Amino acid sequence: MFHVRGNPAKQKGGINMEIAVRTRCPYTIRIQRGILKQAGEACRERFPKGNRVAVISDSHVFPLYGESLLSSLKASGFSPVSFCFHAGEASKTLSTVEKILLFLAEEKLTRTDFLIALGGGVTGDMAGFAAACYLRGIPFVQIPTSLLAQVDSSVGGKTGVDLPQGKNLVGAFHQPALVLIDPDTLDTLPPAFFADGMGEVIKYGCIRSPELFSRLETGNIREQMEDVIRACVEIKRDIVERDELDTGERMLLNFGHTLGHALEKLHGFSALSHGAAVGIGMVKIAQAGEAAGITEPGTAKRIAALLQRYSLPIDDPADLEDLLDATASDKKSAGSQIRPVLLRRIGESFFTPMPREEFRRFCAGIKPSSLPDTSAPTCKLP
């Protein structure tokens, strides 16, 4: 499960893990401390004849890493320009993408040029979507700086924006040309955002790796950061290679997301973070699975306890009927059916189509009283 194609090697900045992704447009993921400062060299290897590059970032990340990235690009012979948008999910809209596209046109970028997404999941999704649209498609590089983006959204080629009706309802599949993951960027990540990423890390343990789940329950996450990122990336890589366009197995990556996205919608895509919403969604759907005799008893409590360990919420006061109504725009719907991802036990997941009314009856098994004591100790995050 965790085998890297190509042995980790000693490079400048420490261990350099290279993971090959064999999709229709193959690319490499590099995990290495300090690699952001060497991004120019890495991009020059990938684009030996390139010249122009547009760095897309947000108002939080660019002040931290923008100048370092621009300097590295210039040192490698590129002529970079930069576009910065206001940080936050509220900016993940068609209007922001339009501004990015107008910027690219004003800067006269061509099909031989490329974009770099420097930031978290919002930046990667929007920059990737702009790259997919501009001139009907130009290359882009992912440099994820949040834990959520490093373990999940920077890999797999899903790009897009939100609509008022729901998350990521407009987008395209557009694989990156290169992904550069620098774990050192997590040192500047506020604790709430680190916890947000842990929601997705826990998801990977739930759907495919009881070993990863157990390590999260007992280990010091900071001492294992590269290995944890690699484990998540490899699980996603393996799934995406078999189902690049999200028509089958890739749906497993949405464990907790059907109810999680609905919670985000109810909170106006601002009051509840994505990782927190997914975590609550995982607990609720596991509870429903246990009540239906599908999921191993005790699974929901174990997930909830791990979420608490990493300072994530395990429940939300939203009315269940309102929550189910908000799943109407779920992207995994097929006509009148919804396809929730369920667990048999930690590490063993599947999805099953069911009519919406059946899904409502299924979710009647969600019982807040079955959650663990909220006074349980949490893991101190940086």
Question: All domains of the chain, ordered by start, with CATH?
Answer: 9-188 (3.40.50.1970), 191-370 (1.20.1090.10)
Going by pLDDT thresholds of 50, 70 and 90, the confidence category of residue 329 is confident
- Residue with the larger pLDDT of the pair 335 and 261: 261
Q: What is the pLDDT of residue 6?
A: 39
- Check residue 160 and report its DSSP letter: E
Closest CA to 359 of 260, 274, 292, 282: 292
228-269 pLDDT tens trace: 999 999 999 999 999 999 999 999 999 999 999 999 999 988
Contact between 53 and 83 (Cβ < 8 Å): no
Average pLDDT, the chain: 91
Does residue 16 register a pLDDT over 50?
A: yes
105-141 pLDDT tens trace: 999 999 999 999 999 999 999 999 999 999 999 999 9
Which helix (H) or strand (E) element contains residue 53? strand 52-58
Q: What is the pLDDT of residue 370?
A: 45
Q: What is the pLDDT of residue 270?
A: 84
Question: What whole-number distance in Å separates Cα of residue 181 and Cα of residue 176?
Answer: 13
Helices 121-133 and 94-106 meet at what angle, rounded to 10? 60
Q: What is the pLDDT of residue 10?
A: 43
Q: What backbone torsions phi and psi does residue 331 show, to the nearest 5 degrees?
A: -65, -20
- Any idea of the CA torsion for 369, 372, 376, 378, to the nearest 10 degrees? -110
Q: What is the DSSP string of 279-328?
A: HHHHHHHHHHHHHTT-SPTTHHHHHHHHHHHTT------S-HHHHHHGGG
Q: What is the pLDDT of residue 14?
A: 53
Does residue 102 register a pLDDT over 70?
A: yes
- Per-residue pLDDT, averaged over 158-184, amounts to 95
Does residue 374 register a pLDDT over 60?
A: no
Q: Select, from the ranges 177-191, 325-339, 357-371, the one with the highest average predicted confidence (pLDDT).
A: 177-191
Percent of the chain scored above 90 by pLDDT? 85
| Token pair in block for residue 242 | 């078999």
Does residue 289 register a pLDDT over 50?
A: yes
- Per-residue pLDDT, averaged over 275-293, amounts to 97
Q: What is the pLDDT of residue 343?
A: 98
Q: What is the pLDDT of residue 41?
A: 98
Percent of the chain scored above 70 by pLDDT? 91
Going by pLDDT thresholds of 50, 70 and 90, the confidence category of residue 2 is very low
- Per-residue pLDDT, averaged over 347-363, amounts to 95
